[in-house]
Structure 1
Amino acid sequence: VGLLGFLIGLLLPAYGQPLARVPGRVRAYLWELRAHLLLKPLWAALHPVNPSAVQTVARQERFSVRWRVIRQVMEIHDWLAVIRPYHSPAVARDAERLGRAAGLAGSRLEDLVLACQIRVLVATKPWSTSPIAVPEETDSIATGVTEAVYVAEVSQLTRLAAAYRSPLVDSVARPHLRPAVTGADLP
């Protein structure tokens, strides 16, 4: 018993702090894995906007969920910047009306409106007939990014991804897609 106490006392200072951080690291890993999985459908939907914006994965980052989430966030923001000039006021109006009727307000309503814009724009591809508006490179995005900013950005995009999967988005998008499809079919 004395030898066991001696060994614990000897090893605790060296391994105590790293072991104390394990639960926090596991929680962070699971949060990032969940975010990565939630962002995947939104990322896949926006990918056709500008496939060349997809960044290659460095070898050491291949298995890092954190780097995958960071890449997803950057690429989604790039694609959202490209489609921003094509937003339709009619889609926004219908999405806001339907969202308010469903009891949404604040950021959830904003996410629904943006998700509806994404659904309609990805289906109609207006950037394919006019030049792609390439977002300007800014260093302000890369500098000064803190953990709090990272968490806020990922949380906001996961809310947007959840709104994108909402049946309300299909309800709003359906009438706006029908004229685009039938108009293209006319001679």
Structure 2
Amino acid sequence: MDGHFDVAHLQAIHRHLLGDLYEWAGEIRTIDTAPGDLGILHDPPAAIPAELDRVFADINSGVYVNHHSHEAFVQDLAGHWGDLTRVHPFVDGNSRTQRVFFDQLARDVGWAIEWRELSVDAVQAACNFAYVDGGTLLADLLRPRSNPSLKFPRTPSLPHPVAGP
């Protein structure tokens, strides 16, 4: 799915994945939600637009196209994934949407995540735990299962940071 790694891209992925199930697929949620029995609320609906703007501004700041190490890539990806999990922009289907989104992002900047080697439950738990640890556990899961991609050439669609005055 083409996109610019922004809110519209995330919404398009959600709509594509869940459009046959929900007529509201791709729409930003307007009700409160919480992850299971963790006793933590996701961001309230009124905060979602500003938080999505903040997260996507950081994603598109050039941080990914300027990585000089595997560690920097893993830390940034885990942090952004944790942020989007906390925001939880859709009523349902956030985890599936985020896996597709972050897989595309990783490939776009030259990394491949070995999904077959990851437990979906462990990734979900680590994303939810990112509330507490800032994505450390998620980074620990992703680190050994993300490698430079030889199958997909590095053709970033993320913008490069603009030089200041």
TM-score tier, shorter chain, comes to under 0.3
Please, what TM-score do these two structures have when normalized by structure 2?
Answer: 0.26
Bigger proportion of residues as helix: 1
- Work out which of the two has the higher radius of gyration on C-alpha atoms and give 1 or 2: 1
Please, what TM-score do these two structures have when normalized by structure 1?
Answer: 0.24
